[in-house]
Structure formats: structure tokens, C-alpha cells
Chain A
Amino acid sequence: MPEKRILLKNCGVIDPRDINSYLAHGGFQAWEKAQKMSPDGLVAEIKASGLKGRGGAGFPCGLKWELVRKEPGDEKFLIANADEGEVGAFKDRYLLQGDPFTLIEGMAIAGYAVGAQKAYLYLRAEYHHLLDGLSNAIGQVKRKGFLKKLDIEIREGAGAYICGEESALMDSIEGKRGEARYKPPFPPSKGLWGKPTIINNVETLMNIPQIILHGPPWFCGMGTEQSKGTKLFSVSGDVEKPGVYELVLGSSLKELLDLAGAKSVKMVQVGGATGGIIPYSMISTPLAYETVLGSGAVTVFNESREVLDFIHRTMEFLAEESCGKCTPCREGTEVMIEILGRLATGDGRQEDIQALEDLSHTMMVSSLCGLGQAASIPVLDTLRYFRNEYETRIKQSVFLRSFRGLP
């Protein structure tokens, strides 16, 4: 299955500063079509399309919309999650830069479908350089009269990885520290200020106009059983051509790596800091919700890279970005750093592997949100595929200590 430009079709083609350029390329035709449909009909279309969230968690989009649609009450919110903080992810930046109008059109349709009058576009602070372009695009859409029913406000973050997590993001909009909330209740019933709220990733929302325009059967025609449509991948690391690639879901990792020019691959991390690790021997793994996907961040490591060095740095990142609300994540990531740190510096102990595995399972079942729950995925994956590197470090450490007369 090859590259297919559906989400990227306007990037580099239209002038992102001029709505007329977007209109000349079929812009807002989906919105016109959507207005002739009922909100329930729109929700049904998205449900039938099988579209799943593109931010990492992969929740069925139509189902989320339906939950919000069915909630009683006049006040509902729509949030576009542009807090792309995942390590190695930059596809939303690319979309926001190259085609802000499709996002706004997707938001207009989503707002109408779920009955939201107010929308927030939550933009991470690191993407402040995109703010003017986005404000300009929203202003132009408004002046053309496409946003009569939805008020879109851009809300900037202030630097916090955790705010990409939906409940932390809502706390941040509310003017609080971005800390994950206890769930349930989930955002569709009690979200922003306790009101029904839909939070969709930028890429998810940008799929909406295409689905409305071409219909669910067209969308379902691409991909696998559980993974419909195309997906953007942000490829970086040891590759010749880092960048954003759009592939039909179910395409193999190898196809993607060939496009990006990866050589002497040792392993690939798919899905950012907490993403799964694919060793070279499994390079033909399909990229899909059934296997490995996440947000589509793909970081490539060549044979010169040390697993323990990578995993230690990754854990330092996660510990730094843990919001600190729940103990398993706050303390667990710190203890992991301690163990991985001594392994990385050649001071490992025999019992370290067991300790890492035990702690991993505890964090997975008892952490409050995705950060702590998934923090140990790369640890467990590297222990599975590169256990020898851990064992060698431990053997070396024990040997070195014996010289110093230590146990």
C-alpha cells in the first residue's frame, strides 16, 4: 500500500494565508454539504467511516461525537488538540502551517454535529510561531461567513507535555496546572467546566471534511479491519529524509522507512516517548491500530545506538514531564531513572531487570493517565528484544565491582 495524499493534499499547494486559494481547491464544499444534513446524520456518517482518533489513544471518533451529541444541555464545547508535544511528532505542525483552513472546516462541521457553539484551539507554547497564521485563517473564514455558528478561540499553552492529555488540557484551559483528572467522568459527559466536551486531535478533525465529501464507503475502502483511512507519520532520527509522510493504514513500517531512507536500522520507536519498540527483524510490521501506531511519531535508530542510553534519556523525559499527581507515575519514573541510570553508567545489579519488570507492571495498572500507564512500554519492549544489552551491562558491572571488593 503506497503513499496517498489526502490530508496532505493542500500542503504546499494552497496559499495558507489566503482563503480564496483554499476555496479554489474545493474548500468548504464539505461544510456546505454538511449543512444540508442533520447533526445526527453527520454523527452517523463519522461512525460509519470507522475513523479513530489520530492523537495516540485511537478512540472511535464517531462514538465520541455521539456521546456528546446525546448529552442534554445547551452548552457544549469543542476542543482541537494542537498540543503536539509527543517526542518525535511534528505532523500537526506541518498541517497547521500548510493547511489551516481544512482544520477550521473540520471544526465547523464537528461543532455543528455535536451542538457546540464554542471551540478552543489549544496550541502548545512551542508552536507560538504558528499563531499569526492560524489567527489570520480563522479571521478569514469568519469574514466569509462560514463560522456563524461556532466561535473559535485560540488558547496557547505554556509549556507542558502532559497538557496533550485531554483532561490535563482542559485543566490548563480552565487556568489550572495541567494535571490529569480521575476518570470517569469522561470529557463527553463532564469536560470543560463540567460541560459535555469533545476533544479531537488536529489530524482527526482534518479527516472530517474528506469523509463528509466522499462518504464513509470511500474512507472504509482504505486500510485494515480496525484501521481505516490514511495516517500521517513524522519520521526522524537516523534517516536521510526526515519529514511527514502519509500512508494508507496497514502499510508496513518497512515501506515508510524506505521512503525516508533508513539504513542499518537497529530498532524503531513508533508513537513517541512511550511508543513501542520494533526491532529490525520485525520491520515488516504493519502500521495500524491493531499493531503499533500511537500518534505516528517514528524515530529510527541505527546500529551504532545503545539501547540503554536511549531508554535512560527517555525515562528522564517522562519523569520531567510527569504532572506529579499520582504516585505510581511520579515516583515510578524517578525510580526507573535511578535503575536505568546505574545500568547506563555500568553500575548495574543482578536484580535490576526483575525490579524494572515489577515496577513496569505496577505503573501500567495503577497510574492515573496514559503517561504513567505507558511509560514502561519502551522499557518492557527493549527488555524483550534487547535483553542481552541489559544483561551484558549487568555482567560488566558485577565484574568491575568485584575488582573493588564490592558485592
Chain B
Amino acid sequence: MSTVQKAVSLTGREREGLLGRLKEAQNKFGYVPKEFMAETAQSFGLPISEIYGLATFYSFLSTRPLGKYVIRICKSIPCYLQSAEMIIDSVAKEIGIRPGQTTADGKFSFELTNCIGACDMAPAMLINHEVYGNLTPGKIGEILKACK
């Protein structure tokens, strides 16, 4: 079936699995590579722009390679009120990069994120999918050391 035919036959439900596919790629490669976007676009009969649109819309998808450990520090108001800035600074000092960057060895990516729903343990952060709360600059070194 040609891409055009596929697009026409698409009733709308086929793309239900699309977001899941992109998340799989994110887990496997640490990002959604260009080639993967092109292949996915073809198999779903969609323009690449649609896939790119998805990959750049959701904050847990990335179009550039992320490190093995993705640190996401919450910057929303409840964490900010509990001095999240200090945690941001101490992570930056510990791994030597600023938010938005990845270490040269590909071990850590450092991101700031919006509310992660851990305001009762503010300041809080996610490392990959694990939540760390009631953070102090003192705890950061220990937590990051445990990331092998």
C-alpha cells in the first residue's frame, strides 16, 4: 500500500499507538532519532512533521540524545518556596553542567521541570522515574554517587 493509500485508509485509531512508539524509542535510544521519526512516519502513513510535532510537544520525549540518568529538578512554586534554587546550584556544581545540558560522558542530563506532584516533599526532583524529596544540598552528592 502506498503512503497515500495508507493515509486515506487511516480511520484515526491507528495512530493510538504512536505516542507509545515514540516513548519506546526514547527509552531505547535516549532520544527520538531523526531516522526513527522518518520510519515511523512512513509506517503510520503520516508526514514527518506530525511525528516531529509530537516528539517536541511532550517534555518526556527528546530530539537530542539524553544521558543515562535524566535529572529533572522541579522549578514550580511550591519547590521554589523551599529553596529549589539551592538544589539546582548544587546539582550543577556536582556534575559540572547547567540545566539543558548533558555531561560529555553521557551519564547525566540536567533538566528543570514543572510540578512533579511531590510538593509535600519539596524541594523534589526526578532521576529517570524515581522521586527524591526533602532535598538538601548535602544529600545531592550522595544521591548522585549512587547513580552508577
Contacts and interface: CB of A to CB of B under 8 A. Distances in A.
Interface of A: 84-90, 92-93, 124-129, 156-161, 172-178, 193, 234-238, 242-244, 269, 273, 299, 301, 305, 310, 313-314, 317, 320-321, 323
Contacts of A178: 57-58
B5 interface: no
A86 B114 CA distance: 9
Contacts of B138: none
B119 A305 contact: no
Contacts of B53: 177
Nearest to A92: B117
Contacts of B15: 174-176
A33 to B, nearest CB: 33
A313 B59 CA distance: 19
A156 B118 contact: no
Given A127-B117, A236-B78, 17 more contacts: A85-B115, A89-B117, A93-B118, A156-B23, A157-B58, A158-B61, A175-B17, A175-B54, A176-B18, A177-B54, A235-B120, A236-B119, A237-B81, A242-B119, A299-B77, A301-B81, A317-B76
B23 A158 contact: yes
Contact of B120 (A129, A236, A317): A236
A17 B137 CA distance: 34
Q: Is the interface of A mostly helix, strand, loop or mixed?
A: mixed
Contacts, number: 119
A234 B119 contact: yes
A272 B131 CA distance: 21
Contacts of A128: 129
Contact of A175 (B19, B120, B121): B19
Contacts of B54: 175-177
B118 to A, nearest CB: 7
B35 interface: no
B58 A173 contact: no
Contacts of A129: 129-131
A93 B60 contact: no
A321 B81 contact: no
In order of increasing CB-CB distance, the 7 nearest A-B pairs are: A159-B59, A158-B58, A175-B18, A236-B119, A159-B60, A175-B15, A236-B78
Contact of B117 (A93, A160, A174, A320): A93
A97 to B, nearest CB: 11
Contacts of B81: 236-238, 299, 301, 305
Contacts of B23: 156, 158
A86 B129 contact: no
B73 to A, nearest CB: 13
A172 B17 CA distance: 10
B13 interface: yes
A126 B116 contact: yes
B77 A313 contact: yes
A313 B122 contact: no
Which residue of B61, B117, B119, B126 has the most chain A CB atoms within 10 A of its CB atom? Answer: B117
B77 A87 contact: yes
Q: B115, B118, B131: which has the most chain A beta carbons within 10 Å?
A: B115
B16 A174 contact: yes
B12 interface: yes
Contacts of A90: 117-120
B119 A175 contact: no
